[in-house]
Amino acid sequence: MITIGSRKSKLAMWQTEMVARALNEGGMETQINSMETKGDKILDVSIAKIGSKGVFTEELEVQLAAGITDIAVHSAKDMQSLLPAGFTLIAFTEREKVNDVLLSTDKSMDLADSSRPVKIGTSSVRRRALLRHYYPHVEAVDMRGNLQTRIRKMQNGDCDALILAYAGVKRMGYEEMIVMEFDEKKFIPPVGQGCIAVETSTSLDAAKAAMIRNCLNNKESEACLLAERGFLKKLEGGCSIPAFGLAVLENDEITLTAGLASLDGQNILCREARGSRRDAEQLGKRVGEYILENGGREMLVEIRRQQP
């Protein structure tokens, strides 16, 4: 029996049920324990102000440490770059398309039209910074809550459109509301977007952990996520900084494009580098070091000064 911890939102449960089905098909019985995390409960404050470490994971890790659950299922983009002692990620699932998308009930929405005032809802500091950089005429408004809550707020007039991850939109069946797909080479996604991560306590029985990993882990996703997370770890970053990173694997070579934006979107630092999949994490760290040494360290000081 594999006991799985999950957030209660519809998207989190969709992802958890997908993991459970894969384990069932691998011959393992499963049981799901769902709960609300700090990030689910506090909706009137931005994630950056709540704190970037463990906003969506802390309570699930309490269950892992106590042995109440064997694994926890997360959106990989919600995972802090450095896990608390005693926890590890043992699997990454096959990755969905990584792009950000624009959702609206107005099919004529066109961000290229600078004469048209538009309010876009988002809770992401990265998306706000990139909007300010590429679409300075657009007004970004804070928008927290699960996908269904955000769509309801938009329909009630709180904003004209929403920026969301394609993966979540597809998994929840709202593809017909997409009016624009952002180019991932320009509007680079956050580390881990489109991928599901499986976390466990290091005290979990090694044989059980190996069985779960062998059933769930996608080696291509893992190589890319190790590079992306290596970059974010070097920046000591999480949800509260406008960092971005996307790794692409071709044959045995990884191409990582990653960087950091200022909160006002005026400055964007970006670096592309290639390396062997065997050295994925080190590739990420090298890119992170380059960003830090070329203005990133000062940019982070300013970001943290503005968002203590």
**Annotation marks residue 78 as catalytic:** yes
Which residue among the candidates 78, 183, 264, 279 is catalytic per the annotation?
A: 78
The first and second tokens of residue 52, run together, are 């970037």
For CA atoms 262, 266, 271, 277, the dihedral sign is positive
Alpha-carbon span 52 to 38, nearest angstrom: 11
Tell me the sheet residues that pair with 100.
165
Q: Are 255 and 276 in contact (CB under 8 A)?
A: no
User: Which residues are annotated as catalytic?
Assistant: 78
